[in-house]
Amino acid sequence: MSNKLFRIPLLVATIAMILVACASPTSTQAPVTAQPAPTQAPANAPATNVPAVTAQPATIQAPTTMVPAPTRPPAEVATLPFAHTACAQGVDLTGQTVSFYHIIDPNDQVDTVYAPLRAGYADAAEYFNAHGGICGATLTQVSDDAHWGDAHTIYNFYKALDPKPIVMTLYGSTMAVELADQLAADQILGLNIRGGSTASAYGTDGKTPGWVFAANPLYSDQVGAMCDYIVANPKRFPHPVMGFLNFDDDLWRAATEESHAYCASLRIGDAGVFTFNGDDSNTIIRNNVQKLVDAGANIIYTNSHENGPALIARTLLEMGLQDKVKLATVNRAMDSYVAFSGEADLGSDGLPAINGMLGSMPVRSLAETDNPGIQLIKSQADLHQRPLTMRTDGYIMGWDTTDLLIQVYIQTGNRVGFEAITGAEFKKTLENIVYAPLGGVEQIDYQGGKRRALAANRIGEMDYLGKDGKTPAGTGNPPMVVTIGDQKHLVPMIVPLTGFTSAPDLRPGGANVPPTTAAATSATKTPAPTASAVVLGVIKGRIAFQSDRNGNNEIYVMNGDGSGLTNLTDNPANDIGPVWSPDGKKIIFLSNRDGNTEIYVMNADGSAQTNLTNNPANDGSGSPENLDWSPDGKKIAFATNRDGKWEIYVMNADGSNQTNLTHNPASDDVFPKWSADGKQIGFTSGTGEIYLMNADGSNPTQLTHNGKDNAFLRWSPDGKKIVFVHGAGDGHYEIYLMNADGSNQTKLTNSPGSKDDNMGARWSPDGKQIIFYSTRDGNAELYVMNADGSNQTRLTNNPANEYAPMIQP
């Protein structure tokens, strides 16, 4: 944002112009209602266990639904414990069936992946059917056991059904590549579970998006995300050199090649690539590890899964390298079933050698019990008596995928009519949806179809639960041991090290591929630079903000760790400038949905959106800083030009008694903010100085004397400090702090450059942090810093623009 503050009308017009965007191509979403997360299964939830999945192919000759069709439940159990799109008014699909079709190729992963995945699908369908189904329709999960492992036969069987499926879930990159052309020709969407090769999502040329969407970041992008984490932690990795020890596979070989140049551009050394198979002798693996170490590797990244990571970890242990070489891996190996395979190889600390392995975790684990979706999944696993060995990523993804498919189905039906849902319309919804299944178990955003694989990723660590039942095992906290049948097991726990961040796009032609690979030839053993990490999770509570990620400005909320992302407004107009009410139950914002800018209020879940001002003038001017809530929640201050120029008005919280406070014929008055005690209102006037007046408009007093460019003040919660924006005349704006009397003005940000602005500073409820937005990285992103300006950390990483953040009181 490069506008000047010395002319208030110009500032207002410029901000309005910057925030204007084209109409959203996405569908209108009905308001959602968030409910408290349950700590245990509902008392009236069905208790019927789904039969165990057999380890051999069934002999039946037709698809089998995993879950029988129950009767529609009573209305009182139809409330979900997380935000969900409501079905359009009047829609009732009672008596109908909606089927989701799964082509699951178990290969040699019957017990480790296939059975938990099917159990997750089954339990999720039972739960959702007990809570209203899909607009009253019964959900069934269909899997063809008769042709187990024969993807083409299963596909052709499904395709011949009437009605033809609109979506099929796939398992694995190879299957997705083989079926990609058929899916496109038949216009059936393929949602690829646990697949992440470039070819599976973008075609064999790596550049042609088709009808297959990956449910996690590409494998090459995950390598890039690991490299980002490595350079962001120079104390842990002072001289990083990475080597690869992979299963021998063409798709994985390509993924490794795609990531090499990116990691080299970050000055991470390259120790080369070696391969092995899960049944190779220990000597072969040991020789390959030795070659990597001889080449300088202190990090070994592997694409292997099942017993692969455990074999490498055991080899490092036997070679005395466990403390010298860090093991890292892809998301499919960051799973409790992999931890089980390595639990017998104990080091001198009494913990398995695989303990501490790093990897990608785009889906939350069952260890993250503070998340409402994980709470729900865990309670249902308890209800169905799923053993520890079944509570894997596969089980979680069965739930996660089911919720996503339901959400896409409802949004598509609301947009085009439920009788008109086709694969093409389903695909259009998925391309544009921004959704956090089950209240934040995963982050779904295909960026308007620009990507066919998810970007949101986290880095985590594989640990084992300690005897305290809460934290990872370690010194003074030995591992917990449980008995399952006649076997004793340690309890795996996958612990996140970062919040959700955007993985680089490393496919051929992707946005983050370095222009050349020359750096790869000179990067070995070069010290890594200090990098600014993109970290979520440093804020407690919910964050409301505006974003144009859907093509127009909308009001979003998310948790401090990036989970639970929800579009509250979902309107083709521009909705900007969210301000929480003091009790955190409502949000006021500006919208031009009625033809001019008006002030609206809504509940914290986005429901009951109501126009408060209803005036033909522009109330708020299109600036996110032109409205504020009084500390007692009874009044709202705002700027309006209804009197021919900009004045400060105040009204009751219900919109009544709209009153002009400033009556200033000489200059414009904008950006009103209440003091912490509610006795004063600060605002910007004239050439850009900050003034204070009593809450009734009396006794206006000038607070700053900098000549121009002062605005956007906010009192600290204790009323002792004021944060504000000041332009020093060099073409950009910084955030400053001063005492409540205007003294001791101190600059908190310092990002020079004509396009680098820091705006929208607002305090955390405890006064210890300041959240703001900045264009220092090329587009407007959300940041947070301590109240003294230290520890400035980027919260979002999105190609769209994010503005006006505020933490829920």
- Residue 160 is predicted with a pLDDT of 92
754: pLDDT strictly greater than 70: no
How sure is the predictor about 518, in pLDDT bands with cuts at 50, 70 and 90? very low
Burial class (CB in 10 A: 0-12, 13-18, 19+), 111: middle
Please state, rounded to an integer, the average pLDDT across all residues of the chain: 81
Terminal alpha carbon distance of the chain:
28
- 517 or 191, greater pLDDT: 191
Can you name the residues that pair with 459 across neighbouring β-strands? 360
User: What span, in angstroms and rounded, lies between the C-alpha atoms of 628 and 671?
Assistant: 9
Comparing 29-43, 422-436, 743-757, the range with the smallest average pLDDT is 29-43
pLDDT in tens, 57-114: 332 234 444 444 333 333 333 467 777 888 988 999 999 999 999 987 655 455 567 8
Phi, psi dihedral angles at 85 (to 5 degrees): -65, 130
Reference 310, options 344, 360, 361, 276; nearest CA is 344
Asked whether the CA dihedral 347, 349, 355, 356 is positive or negative, the reply is negative
Please state the rounded mean pLDDT for residues 32-48.
Answer: 29
pLDDT reported for residue 710: 86
Which residue, among 590, 672, 669, has the nearest Cα to 637 in the 3D structure? 672
What's 466-535 look like in SS3? ECCCCCECECCECECEEEECCEEEECEEEEECCCCEECCCCCCCCCCCCCCCHHHHCCCCCCCCCCCCEC
Is the pLDDT at 496 greater than 70, yes or no? yes
Which amino acid is located at 767 in the chain?
G
pLDDT at 777: 75
- Looking at the predicted structure, is the pLDDT value of residue 432 above 50? yes
Q: Which whole number is the average pLDDT over 542-570?
A: 86
> What tokens appear for 503 in the block?
């993985």
- DSSP characters for 596-618? S-EEEEEETTS-S-EES---SS-
pLDDT tens by residue, 215-252: 999 999 999 999 999 998 988 998 999 999 887 776 66
Rg (CA), the chain: 28
Going by C-alpha positions, the residue among 121, 135, 84, 123 that lies closest to residue 439 is 84
Longest Cα separation, the chain: 87
- Residues 580-584 have a mean pLDDT of 94
Q: Are 176 and 190 contacting, i.e. CB atoms less than 8 angstroms apart? A: yes
**pLDDT for 340-398, tens place per residue?**
877 778 887 888 888 999 999 999 998 888 888 999 999 999 999 998 888 888 899 99
Q: What is the pLDDT of residue 349?
A: 81
Q: What is the pLDDT of residue 554?
A: 93
pLDDT at 16: 33
What integer pLDDT is reported at residue 347 of this predicted model? 82
pTM of structure: 0.61
- Residue 211 is predicted with a pLDDT of 94
261 vs 186, more confident: 186
Mean pLDDT score, 705-714: 85
Taking residues 605-624, what's their average pLDDT? 86
In DSSP notation, 237-288 reads -SS-EEEEEEE--HHHHHHHHHHHHHHHHTT-EEEEEEEE-TT--HHHHHHH
pLDDT at residue 524, rounded to an integer? 33
What pLDDT digit, counting tens, does each position of 433-490 carry? Answer: 988 899 889 999 998 888 899 999 999 999 988 888 888 888 888 888 888 777 888 8
User: Residue 535 pLDDT more than 60?
Assistant: no
Up-side HSE of residue 623: CA atoms within 13 Å toward CB? 29
* β-sheet bridge partners, residue 466: 479
Residue range 772-780: average pLDDT?
Answer: 85
Q: What is the pLDDT of residues 633-648, one digit of tens each?
A: 999 999 998 888 899 9
Higher pLDDT, 797 or 416: 416
Q: Is the dihedral of CA 213, 215, 220, 221 positive or negative?
A: positive
Sheet holding 358-360, edge to edge: 269-276, 241-247, 299-302, 326-329, 358-360, 459-464, 492-496
- Token pair 């494998």: residue: 219
- Asked if 200 and 212 count as a contact pair (C-beta separation under 8 A), the reply is yes
Task: List domains and CATH numbers for the chain.
Answer: 8-21+548-807 (2.120.10.30), 64-79+94-217+369-454 (3.40.50.2300), 219-359+475-521 (3.40.50.2300)
Sheet with 610-611: strands ordered across? 575-580, 586-591, 598-603, 610-611
On the question of pLDDT at 771 being above 90, the answer is yes
3-state secondary structure of 453: strand
Report the relative pairing of strands 97-103 and 138-143 from DSSP bridges. parallel
Select from 32, 99, 30 the least CA-distant residue to 66. Answer: 99
If one compares 446 and 55, the residue with the highest pLDDT of the two is 446
Query: Using an 8 Å Cβ cutoff, are 339 and 354 in contact?
Result: yes
Q: Residue by residue, what is the 3-state secondary structure of 736-781?
A: EEEECCCCCCEECCCCCCCCCCEEEEEECCCCCEEEEEECCCCCCE
pLDDT band at 706 (very low <50, low <70, confident <90, very high): confident
CA 619 to chain centre: 33
> For residue 534, is it left (φ>0), alpha (ψ between -120 and 50) or beta?
beta
Q: How far apart are CA 463 and CA 51, in angstroms?
A: 31
How many Cα atoms are found within 13 Å in the side-chain-facing hemisphere of 516? 4
Range picked from 146-150, 377-381, 706-710 for highest mean pLDDT: 377-381
Distance CA 342, CA 373 (A): 28
